Each structure stands twice: as C-alpha cells, then as structure tokens.
Structure 1
Amino acid sequence: MNENTFHGTVGREIRINHSQRTGTAVVNFSIAINSRRFDKASGQWVARPTVWKDVVVFGALAENVYDTITTGMHVAVTGEEVDDSYTKELDEPGRDDVVIRRTKIEARDVAVSLRGQKAQVEKVQVEKVQRTDTAPQPVG
C-alpha cells in the first residue's frame, strides 16, 4: 500500500450514501490544496494553482467524517490514490468512446487541522465483535 497525506480545505458539501448491498456508509467530498513557492528572481512568494482532490471514505470513519467535517475546514487526509477512470460512451456514429482518466483518494484517516482552527474531540464507542470458534464439529 502506498499511503500519502494531503492537507487541504474541504471544498464542497459532504455527501453520505449507504451501500445497497452491505449498508456500509460511503462519504464523498473534495479538498482544495493550495501551495506556494519562493521566486528567487522577484524575492516574493508566488501562489501555485489550486489542486483539487476527490476523497472517498468508507465505514465507521465515513460516519465520523460526515458528523464532523464541514465545508471550509482545513483537514489532513491520509490514504491511497486509486484509479477512478471510466469510459464515456458517445452516441455519435464514427466516434470512439472517450476514456476519462481521474484518481481519487481512498481515505484511511481524516483529521481536522489545528493550524487555523480549534476542534472539540468526542470519543466514539467502538463496538467490539466477539469471535467464536465456528469450525465444524465432527459428527460422531
């Protein structure tokens, strides 16, 4: 696994859905990553263009993100960049379908940045699953 951490500002309303098959929570949002570099020639800091990253979060983390994060918050997202490309089928005769190449961050952790904001933390009770030995018993 190749994890990276991205720091940015939540740029759109967070949406939550639940998988129809499993009921697992799925949250989607995007972050704006702003950076700058020092230009030696002018002696000034120069802003780079904003980079937008789409983020997807699953399960209990998704529920916590949905309940906590809002547009405009500064966050740190740790996760793996995954391929989210798709093929757009064109209905025009003689034209090939178009492959849309894109990636998104599949988050393993999302944290509120405390650089320019304060946060209150509330511990969430995690359900513990008891394991039982379910191996088949020999029939006597």
Structure 2
Amino acid sequence: MNEITLVGNIGKDDPKLVYSERTGEAVLKFSFAQNDRYRDRQTGEWRDTKPVWTDVVAFGDLADNAAESLHARAAVIVIGKFVDNSFRPVGEDGQLQSEVRRTEFRALAIGPDLRRATATVTRQPRRERTGSTTAPQPAT
C-alpha cells in the first residue's frame, strides 16, 4: 500500500466527530494546511508559502481518539492515502447530475508534531464493536 505522510496544522475549526447512521462507526473530519517556510535571501526574513488545504477523514478508534486529542490549529502529522470521494447528486427532477469530483485524505495514523508541541499519551482500551466476531456474545 502506498502511504503518504503530511505534516502541518489543523485548520481554524476543531475536528468534527460524527457517527455513521448506517454502521454506527465514528467518522472524524478536519481541514489540514501544509506550507513551507524559507529565508528570503535579499531581506534575511523568514517567509511562508501559500498553504495547501486538504480534507482529512478518519474512521473508527482513530476517529474517536483523535477527536479527544486534537483541536483547531494543532500541529500534527498525518499518515494515510488519497482516495476518490466523487459522487453524482440527484437533481430536483430525480435525474442524476454531472459527477462532482472530490478527493480526500484518508488517515491511517494521526499524531502531534512534537517539534512544535508536547503530548501526554494515554493508552485507550480496545472498544467493542457491534457485530464483532471477537466481542463477547450474550448468553443464549
């Protein structure tokens, strides 16, 4: 699998945690900005490049844990992959409309950037999932 590492900051809004109506799985979404700094050779001052914004999504335990740990403007490292999240909306007449192309970054791991912050790590117990074959089953 191809994994990509992004280093940057969460946007101005806190990550948003919701639960899927269909599966009950946690889904976390947030905007993520990456930009570089460079020293202007003429002035000697540090300058920032224009940020590149990416929509990040995480699922399951990662989503739950990240929602408890992350906040707006936090410096983070995200490992994941780009996925196609395009769709065809249905118009008022019930007909499918033109495809809306959308790409998002599906997070596989998220952590604080310890070059710019400190963190305290707390191990979370495994959460049981409904329908899991490894979860304790009720007595019959």
- Into which bin does the TM-score normalised by the smaller protein fall? 0.7 to 0.9
Q: Pick the structure with more strand per residue.
A: 1
Instruction: Find out whether 1:75 has 2:76 as its counterpart.
Output: yes
Mapped contact 1:32–1:51 kept (Cα < 8 A): yes
2:120 maps to what in 1? 120
Q: Please list every run of 5 or more consecutive structure 1 residues that lacks an aligned counterpart in the other structure.
A: 92-96, 132-140
AA aligned to 1:3 is E
Aligned sequence identity (%)? 34
Q: Please list every run of 5 or more consecutive structure 2 residues that lacks an aligned counterpart in the other structure.
A: 135-140
Mapped contact 2:61–2:127 kept (Cα < 8 A): no
1:138 maps to what in 2? none
Alpha-carbon distance in structure 2 between the residues aligned to 1:74 and 1:46 = 18
2:37 maps to what in 1? 36
2:8 maps to what in 1? 8
Alpha-carbon distance in structure 1 between the residues aligned to 2:40 and 2:87 = 38
Indicate the RMSD between aligned Cα atoms, in angstroms: 2.6
1:61 maps to what in 2? 62
Q: 1:39 to 1:102 in 2, by over 3 A?
A: farther
Rg: which structure is higher? Answer: 1
Mapped contact 1:90–1:98 kept (Cα < 8 A): no
TM-score normalised according to structure 2 size? 0.75
Describe the SS at the equivalent of 2:114: coil
Alpha-carbon distance in structure 2 between the residues aligned to 1:89 and 1:126 = 40
Q: 1:108 to 1:34 in 2, by over 3 A?
A: same
Q: 1:50 to 1:90 in 2, by over 3 A?
A: farther
Q: 1:88 to 1:35 in 2, by over 3 A?
A: farther
TM-score normalised according to structure 1 size? 0.75
